[in-house]
Amino acid sequence: MRIEDLISMAADARKNAYVPYSDFRVGAALLMDDGSVYTGCNVENASYGATNCAERTAIFKAVSEGHRKISAICIVGSKEGSFAFPCGICRQVISEFSDENTKIIVAKNEENYIVRSVAELLPDAFTPNDL
């Protein structure tokens, strides 16, 4: 799967964002290690803290279908001209289902994106190995 295809899927998923409070649309697309693909969008709530980010929507869909390891995750936000990096909670959840080869792709569009590792976004992470 090309990075550009994953970006395009994340941008498509963003169309379903439920964002009546922030009007900030986010889409995510995951490529799992077995080749399966999952997408997600942010889903807000009148009780703001109940909001689910796009990354976690996609990850929980994949994990609930039995998939465990993320090869690549792509995130596309909606503010013109800026990248939407994952929030702290999403970094922790990404870390749970990633390894040192997982690519985190933060994209403005198919031509403009940044690729990071989990260690770069969440150094000294608390992991299952710490329990």
Please list the active-site residues.
55
Q: How far apart are CA 5 and CA 3, in angstroms?
A: 5
Amino acid at 43: V
Which tokens sit at 67?
A: 């998939």
# of chain residues touching ligand THU (CB under 6 A) = 13
Q: CB of 54: closest distance to ligand THU in angstroms?
A: 4
CB nearer ligand THU, residue 35 or residue 46: 46
* Interface with ligand THU, residue 53, by CB under 6 A: yes
Q: What angle do CA 125, 118, 7 make, to 5 degrees?
A: 145
Q: CB of 59: closest distance to ligand THU in angstroms?
A: 11
Q: Is the dihedral of CA 88, 90, 93, 99 positive or negative?
A: negative
* Interface with ligand THU, residue 54, by CB under 6 A: yes
User: Do residues 47 and 28 make contact, with C-beta atoms less than 8 angstroms apart?
Assistant: no
Q: CB of 74: closest distance to ligand THU in angstroms?
A: 12
CB nearer ligand THU, residue 38 or residue 44: 44
- For residues 7, 8, 9, 10, the Cα torsion angle rounded to the nearest 10 degrees is 50
* Interface with ligand THU, residue 126, by CB under 6 A: no
Q: Which residues bind ligand THU (CB under 6 A)?
A: 19, 22, 24, 26, 42, 44, 51, 53-55, 86-87, 90
